[in-house]
Structure formats: C-alpha cells, structure tokens
Structure 1
C-alpha cells in the first residue's frame, strides 16, 4: 500500500477579499482561504493522482534571532481537505465482500472528507448489506421487517464480539441520520471496528490465533513433529 504525497507543484492557495479585509481591520496575524492541488501515490506500481481541495489557515509566529540580531517569522499552515477524488481507501476490506457492501463502503470514503454524519450513515448501510452476505434475514418468519438491531442480535448467537462492533456502527449511523452530527474520533474508531469485524467474519483470524497458541502451549514451544 502506497502513501499519498504532494505532487511536484505546491498547492494553489487563494484568500478571499473579505478575509483579507477582516484580518487587516482586526489585526489578525493569520491567513485563511481555499486551496487546490494534486497528491500522488508513491507506490511505483500505482502512481495514482488524487485531486484535493479544501480550506487552509496560515498562522504567523514572530520571534527574534539574537545571533543574527533580526526579527524572524515562522509560518504554520494547516490544510483541511473537503474533497478528494478519487478518495483514498481509508480501511482495508476482504476480497469476498459483496458488491453492495463494497459500493457503499467506497462511497463512505468519499463522504469522509465532506460530511462526517453522512459518512457514518453510509457505514450503517454497509452493515445492513454485510449481514445479508452472512445470511441474516431482513424479515422474520411472519414476513415482518426486522430492524438492524434485531438483525445484529441474531449475529450475536454465533459472532458476539463482531456483533458489538456492528452495534457501535449502528448507533453512530443513527446519530448521523437523526442528529446530523458525529464525533470525528468516534467515526475513526468505527471505521477501525468495521475493518476488524469484516476480517474476523470472513477470515476468523482470532480463532486461528487461539488455535495456534494452544498448539504451541501443548508442545511447550518445541517443534511439532505432527505438522
């Protein structure tokens, strides 16, 4: 997996007139405006180019260089992307993930830079389709609709640990839908939980680790001749 890095050209930055006038009138020592530019994947086999745009602030910190006996100014610029296209894949997902889950997951990566609440809601939809893939019905025997909480409860019987993670995603998605606001760190945690839950549901890595741990304990760390 590669890393997105700034392209050879620096970001283009523009400060709107109203911002310049306000800063001048109120003696603010910073700039604020919009930026756009390109990022490039540093993995040689990839080289993907990503368009990025958003807002920026630059703070100016003044100091005095006693050795040179002259004032110096340090600039600290912070960029806040509001759009990235194509959006980076924030978490990894299994190759076996069904088409509908993958489609909404990829859309959540786009919304992550635009609106946290909308991103959380999209992750909730991923959970719905993920449960479809594992045979959790959307209706009961009478044909009545099962809400997401009821469907996750069915998963609890076989995958209690993963059910807890999916419930967290459900609640965050509810908050995004009804309140229109979610905490950034909670969103990051839920992305991490979703990644972990998908890996365990498809690959059962924890179960395999426990099996191997018991095997190594049984042979007291010595080479297992039965393998």
Structure 2
C-alpha cells in the first residue's frame, strides 16, 4: 500500500486474512447475491505510529513506541505491554533509578510514585499506562480502545516533556495578555 498523504507517499507491506464465511446481502427482487469481504489486518511494515512524537524524544523511547505500534495489529495485549516498557524507559530518561540503594530492582509503581513527587500531572498519566500494561498480562485484558487510550496518554506525557507546542502557546498567550490584544511580536 502507499500512503495517500501528499507529504508522505511511503510504501508499506500489509498482511492479514479474509474470513470465508463473511456476510452476504441478497437482493431477491433482482435475483442477485452480493458477498462482502472483510479484511483483518495482522501486520503492517513499517507500522504507522498512531500518535505524534516530538522530535526531541530520545531514540530508545521512539523505538519502543514504534514497536508498540507494530504489535497492535497482532495483539492489543502485546502492544500494551510494550507501552508499559515505554513508561519504564521514560522514567529512566527522567533520572528515576531502576534500583534501590540496596541494589534491588524497583517496581514500576514505586518509580512512578517517585516521579510523581516532582511532576504529579505526568506521573498520574504514567500510572494509567502502567495499569493498562498490567491488564495486558491477561488474555483479553485490553481492548483496541484501551490500547489507543494508552497511546494518547503516552503522547500527552511526551509532548509535555519533549514538545515545543505548549511552550510556544504559553509565549503567545503571555504576549497577547501583555499587549491586551494582538501581539505585534508574538513568537
């Protein structure tokens, strides 16, 4: 397949299946029978990432998000577990230790609680993704909507930490408020 976005045009390979026993529509008035084919995508390579990643996001986190995007076609649960790994990589990037002073590994929940002390809003968001990741460890534990919520939450956190849109908008807001109207030199 080829992306129809004019700025993209990337080619991707798509695989999946089409069940034989699909729905049929019968038109008795015209003596016709129509069979509709349903295609179930099982993989896309390279997989589209369902969120926008700020450029400044570290490569290891980008790769983990990309892997979650690839896994979502095969298994919501596998993708959810991968998003939980994104949380752990993010915490490490933020300087939250992986091990305690005694050398024991710290569970993700403890690391998130430590992170929340300095950043409650993003900490709560990371906790939500961790819970989704926990549910991913059980068969049928995550729906596609749950998984997409997890991606959206990750996007929220990454934009807050690595994005520039929020800072740019704050500067524009401050300039407009200072001018009490349109700002002549708004960024």
Q: TM-score range by the shorter chain?
A: 0.7 to 0.9
The separation in 1 between residues aligned to 2:120 and 2:41, in whole angstroms, is 37
Cα distance in structure 1, aligned partners of 2:91 and 2:133: 16
Q: Displacement of 1:47 after TM fit? A: 3.5
Question: Offset at 1:113?
Answer: 0.7
Q: Deviations along 1:138-157, whole A, 9 cap, x unmatched?
A: 12344342211111122223
Matched with 1:50 is 12
TM-score, normalization by structure 2: 0.82
How is 1:1-227 mapped onto 2 (pairs within 5 angstroms)? 39-43=1-5, 46-57=8-19, 58-64=22-28, 70-179=30-139, 181-203=141-163, 205-206=165-166, 208-210=168-170, 212-223=172-183
Residues 1:61 and 1:178: Cα distance change in structure 2 (over 3 Å): closer
Q: Is the 8 A contact 1:118 1:176 kept in 2?
A: yes
Provide the secondary structure at the position in 2 that maps to 1:78: coil
Partner Cα distance (1:93, 1:164) in 2: 20
Q: Name the larger-Rg structure.
A: 1
Please, what is the CA RMSD of the aligned residues?
A: 2.7
- Greater per-residue strand proportion: 1
Closer/same/farther in 2, CA of residues 211 and 157 from structure 1, 3 Å limit? farther
Residues 68 and 79, structure 2, Cα contact 8 Å, conserved in 1 = yes
CA distance in 2, matches of 1:44, 1:170: 36
Task: State the partner residue of 1:28.
Answer: none
Distance 2:79 2:135 in 1: 11
Cα pair distance change 1:51/1:208, threshold 3 Å: closer
The secondary structure found in structure 2 opposite 1:122 is helix
Q: Matches of 2:99 and 2:55 in 1, distance apart?
A: 27
Q: Does the 8 Å CA contact 1:165/1:190 hold for their aligned counterparts?
A: no
Unaligned runs of 5+ in 1: 1-38
The 3-state SS of whatever aligns with 2:39 is strand
